[in-house]
Chain A
Amino acid sequence: MRIKSIIVDGFGLFYDVSLEDMPDGLILFAGDNEAGKSTMLGFIRAILFGFPDGRTTENSYEPLRGGQHGGRLIVSTAARGDIVIDRKAGKKGGPINLLFTSDDTSGGEAELKHLLGGFSKAVYKNVYAFSLAELQTFDSLNDEDVRGALYGAGAGVSLMAIPESMKKLDKNLAGLFKPGGSKPVINTRLARLEEVQKELRHAADGIKEYEGLVDQRQKLGETISRFQQEGEVFRKDQTRISNYLKLWDQWIVLQEAEDKLGNLADTVSVFPADGLSKMSDLEKNLENLEKSLIKEEKNQTDLLRQEHSLKINGLLLDQESKINELKENLTIYLSNVDEVSGNQQNLEQKKGEIRRSLEILGKDWTEEKVCGMDRSLFTQNSIRQHQSALQKITSEQEKAKDALNQISGELDAARREKENAAKELNKYRELKDQVAKKTLQAIQNGRDQFASLVRDLPKRKKELKSGTDTLDQAVGEIDPDWGVPEVESFDCSVPAQEKIQEFEQKQNRLNSEINETKNRLEIAQSGLAGVKKELKEHQKKHNAIPDPSLKNREEYTDRKDDLKNLKDILNKKELIEERIRNQNERLSDKQALIQKSLSVLSNSTTGFLKVFSIVVFLLGVAVVAGLVIFQRPLEGGLIGGALVILAACMFIINKTAENRLARQGLNNQSREKKEIRELEELLDDLDDQLAGMESQAEEISGRLSIAGDIEIEKLYPMEKQLEEELIRFDEKTRSKEELNKIKEQETRAIETITQLTETLESQENARRLLQDKWEKHLAGLALRTGTNPRTVSLIFAKVDRIKTMINAVGDIKERIREMEQAKAEYLSLVSLVPELAEKTTDDPADLLSAVDLFLEQTRNLDKQRQERDLAVRTLEEKKKIRKTVEEKQQKAKDRLENAGTQQTRTAEEWRVWLSKAGLDPEISPETALRAMETINECIRLVDTRRALEQDIGLKQNEIQKYLDLVGEVFSISGKPQPDKNNLVSEIKLLYQEYEDSKTGRTKKGTIQEQLAGLKNEIESLKQEIGEKRLELKKLLQEGEADDEEEFRKRGELYQKRRDILQEIEGASRNIKIISGERDLEKLKQELKQCTREELDSELRRLQQEIRETDKNLEAARDELAETKNKLENLASSEDISRLRAEEEKTKEEILTDARKWGTNAIARYLITSARERFEKEHQPRVIQEAASYFNTFTGGEYQNIIAPLGKQSIEVMTRHGIQKRPDQLSRATAEQLFLALRFGYMTNQAENSEVPPAIMDDILVNFDANRSGYAASAILELAGIHQILFFTCHPETISVFKEQDKNIPVYQIKQGQFEEI
Chain B
Amino acid sequence: MSFSFVHAADLHLDSPFRGVTAKSPAIAGSLHLATFEVYNSLIDLCIEKQVQFLLIAGDIYDGADRSLRAQLRFRDGLQRLVDNNIQAFVVHGNHDPFKGHSRSIDWPEGVHVFSYRKVKTIPFKVNNSPVALISGISHENRNITTNLAKKFESQDPDLFQIGLLHCNVGKDTGHEAYAPCELQDLIKTGLDYWALGHVHERKILHNDPYVVYPGNTQGRNIREQNERGCYLVQVDDNNRVTSLEFHELDEIRWFWGFLAIDGLDTLDQLENALSGCIEDFSKKAGSRSLICRISLTGQGPLFNELSRENALQELLEHTRDSYEAKSPFVWVQDLIFECRPEIDLKKRREAKDFLGQVLRISQELSDTEEGRKRLVEEGLEELFKNRRASKHLQDITDNEISRMLKSAELLCFQMLEGDL
Are A211 and B411 in touch, CB under 8 angstroms?
Answer: no
Binds B, one of A200-208, A304-312, A438-446, A987-995: A200-208
Are A1137 and B362 in touch, CB under 8 angstroms?
Answer: no
Binary contact track B351-383/A, C-beta < 8 Å → 1, others 0: 111111110011000000000000100111011
Are A1167 and B358 in touch, CB under 8 angstroms?
Answer: yes
Are B104 and A1162 in touch, CB under 8 angstroms?
Answer: no
Are B353 and A118 in touch, CB under 8 angstroms?
Answer: yes
Residues of B close to A204: CB separation below 8 A: 65
Decide if B311 is an interface residue (CB 8 Å cutoff): no
Decide if B405 is an interface residue (CB 8 Å cutoff): yes
Decide if A850 is an interface residue (CB 8 Å cutoff): no
Are B382 and A1159 in touch, CB under 8 angstroms?
Answer: no
- Chain A nearest Cβ from B137, distance in angstroms: 14
Decide if A1085 is an interface residue (CB 8 Å cutoff): no
Decide if A1091 is an interface residue (CB 8 Å cutoff): no
Which A residues, 478 to 529, have Cβ-Cβ distances below 8 Å to chain B?
Answer: none
Chain B residue nearest to A1165 in the complex (CB) = B379
Which A residues, 101 to 127, have Cβ-Cβ distances below 8 Å to chain B?
Answer: 118-120, 122-123
- Chain A nearest Cβ from B82, distance in angstroms: 19
Q: Among B14, B334, B354, B416, which residue has its beta carbon within 8 angstroms of that of A1137?
A: B14
Are A165 and B19 in touch, CB under 8 angstroms?
Answer: no
Q: Among B31, B102, B347, B388, which residue has its beta carbon within 8 angstroms of that of A210?
A: B102
Residues of A close to B26: CB separation below 8 A: none
- Chain B nearest Cβ from A934, distance in angstroms: 110
Are A120 and B409 in touch, CB under 8 angstroms?
Answer: no
Binds B, one of A865-873, A1147-1155, A1204-1212: A1147-1155
* CA–CA, A922 and B155, complex, Å: 162
Are A193 and B392 in touch, CB under 8 angstroms?
Answer: yes
* CA–CA, A736 and B76, complex, Å: 55
* CA–CA, A164 and B418, complex, Å: 12
Given known A-B contacts A152-B354, A685-B117, A1155-B404, A158 and B416 have beta carbons under 8 A apart: yes
Chain A residue nearest to B413 in the complex (CB) = A1163
Decide if B1 is an interface residue (CB 8 Å cutoff): no
Decide if B72 is an interface residue (CB 8 Å cutoff): yes
Given known A-B contacts A1136-B14, A1161-B379, A1151 and B393 have beta carbons under 8 A apart: yes
Decide if A1144 is an interface residue (CB 8 Å cutoff): yes
Are B67 and A120 in touch, CB under 8 angstroms?
Answer: no
* CA–CA, A201 and B64, complex, Å: 11
- Chain A nearest Cβ from B381, distance in angstroms: 9
Q: Among B69, B104, B411, which residue has its beta carbon within 8 angstroms of that of A215?
A: B104
Decide if A622 is an interface residue (CB 8 Å cutoff): no
Are A1167 and B388 in touch, CB under 8 angstroms?
Answer: no
Binary contact track B311-338/A, C-beta < 8 Å → 1, others 0: 0000000000000000000000010000
* CA–CA, A169 and B14, complex, Å: 41
- Chain B nearest Cβ from A1188, distance in angstroms: 21
Q: Among A161, A1151, A1166, which residue has its beta carbon within 8 angstroms of that of B395?
A: A1151
Residues of A close to B383: CB separation below 8 A: 177, 186, 1154, 1157-1158, 1161
Given known A-B contacts A157-B355, A207-B102, A1173-B357, A1144 and B16 have beta carbons under 8 A apart: yes
Decide if B47 is an interface residue (CB 8 Å cutoff): no
Chain A residue nearest to B72 in the complex (CB) = A1131
Decide if A1169 is an interface residue (CB 8 Å cutoff): yes
* CA–CA, A518 and B293, complex, Å: 59
Interface size on A, residues (CB 8 A): 74
Decide if A1248 is an interface residue (CB 8 Å cutoff): yes
Decide if B2 is an interface residue (CB 8 Å cutoff): no
* CA–CA, A1147 and B389, complex, Å: 10
Decide if A155 is an interface residue (CB 8 Å cutoff): yes
Are A162 and B416 in touch, CB under 8 angstroms?
Answer: yes
Are A161 and B16 in touch, CB under 8 angstroms?
Answer: no
Name the residue among B65, B71, B348, B362 with the largest chain A CB count within 10 angstroms: B65
Decide if B299 is an interface residue (CB 8 Å cutoff): no
Are A1140 and B15 in touch, CB under 8 angstroms?
Answer: yes
Binary contact track B10-44/A, C-beta < 8 Å → 1, others 0: 00001111111100000010011000000000000
Decide if A250 is an interface residue (CB 8 Å cutoff): no
Given known A-B contacts A157-B353, A1165-B378, A1166-B408, A1131 and B28 have beta carbons under 8 A apart: no
Chain A residue nearest to B381 in the complex (CB) = A1161
Decide if B103 is an interface residue (CB 8 Å cutoff): yes
- Chain B nearest Cβ from A699, distance in angstroms: 14
Binary contact track B340-352/A, C-beta < 8 Å → 1, others 0: 0000000110111
Are B418 and A122 in touch, CB under 8 angstroms?
Answer: yes
- Chain B nearest Cβ from A780, distance in angstroms: 45
Residues of A close to B347: CB separation below 8 A: 118
Name the residue among A179, A1158, A1159, A1173 with the largest chain B CB count within 10 angstroms: A1158
Residues of A close to B378: CB separation below 8 A: 1165
Decide if B386 is an interface residue (CB 8 Å cutoff): yes
Are A1140 and B361 in touch, CB under 8 angstroms?
Answer: no
- Chain A nearest Cβ from B315, distance in angstroms: 15
Residues of A close to B65: CB separation below 8 A: 200-201, 203-204, 1136
Chain B residue nearest to A200 in the complex (CB) = B65
Given known A-B contacts A210-B102, A1145-B21, A1158-B380, A1137 and B411 have beta carbons under 8 A apart: no
- Chain B nearest Cβ from A1130, distance in angstroms: 6
Given known A-B contacts A1134-B69, A1165-B375, A118 and B416 have beta carbons under 8 A apart: no
Are A190 and B32 in touch, CB under 8 angstroms?
Answer: no
- Chain A nearest Cβ from B100, distance in angstroms: 9
Residues of A close to B158: CB separation below 8 A: none
Residues of A close to B20: CB separation below 8 A: 1144-1145, 1148
Which A residues, 1089 to 1139, have Cβ-Cβ distances below 8 Å to chain B?
Answer: 1130-1138
* CA–CA, A1151 and B334, complex, Å: 12
Residues of B close to A1170: CB separation below 8 A: 354, 357-358, 361
Decide if B417 is an interface residue (CB 8 Å cutoff): yes
* CA–CA, A161 and B418, complex, Å: 9
* CA–CA, A1131 and B69, complex, Å: 5
- Chain A nearest Cβ from B64, distance in angstroms: 8
- Chain A nearest Cβ from B395, distance in angstroms: 6
Are B415 and A164 in touch, CB under 8 angstroms?
Answer: yes
Chain A residue nearest to B28 in the complex (CB) = A1141
* CA–CA, A979 and B117, complex, Å: 155
Decide if A1160 is an interface residue (CB 8 Å cutoff): yes
- Chain B nearest Cβ from A43, distance in angstroms: 21
Residues of A close to B18: CB separation below 8 A: 1144, 1147-1148
Are B69 and A1132 in touch, CB under 8 angstroms?
Answer: yes
Decide if B400 is an interface residue (CB 8 Å cutoff): yes
Q: Among A161, A1134, A1154, which residue has its beta carbon within 8 angstroms of that of B389?
A: A1154
- Chain B nearest Cβ from A1311, distance in angstroms: 34
Residues of B close to A1143: CB separation below 8 A: 16
* CA–CA, A1132 and B33, complex, Å: 12
Are B400 and A1155 in touch, CB under 8 angstroms?
Answer: yes
Chain A residue nearest to B304 in the complex (CB) = A55
* CA–CA, A1137 and B14, complex, Å: 6
Sample (30) of A-B pairs whose CB atoms are under 8 Å apart = A118-B350, A118-B351, A119-B353, A122-B418, A123-B353, A152-B354, A168-B415, A177-B386, A186-B383, A186-B389, A203-B65, A206-B68, A207-B71, A685-B118, A1131-B69, A1134-B67, A1134-B69, A1137-B70, A1140-B15, A1150-B389, A1151-B19, A1151-B396, A1154-B392, A1155-B400, A1161-B379, A1161-B382, A1163-B409, A1165-B378, A1166-B358, A1166-B379
Residues on B facing A (Cβ under 8 Å): 14-21, 28, 31-32, 62-63, 65-72, 102-104, 117-118, 334, 347-348, 350-358, 361-362, 375, 378-380, 382-384, 386, 388-389, 392-393, 395-396, 400-401, 404-405, 407-409, 411-412, 415-418
Closest 9 CB pairs of A and B: A155-B354, A156-B353, A1165-B379, A1162-B408, A1136-B67, A214-B104, A118-B351, A165-B415, A1163-B408
Residues on A facing B (Cβ under 8 Å): 118-120, 122-123, 151-152, 154-158, 161-162, 164-165, 168-169, 177, 179, 186, 190, 193-194, 200-201, 203-204, 206-207, 210-211, 214-215, 685, 1130-1138, 1140-1141, 1143-1145, 1147-1152, 1154-1155, 1157-1167, 1169-1171, 1173-1174, 1248
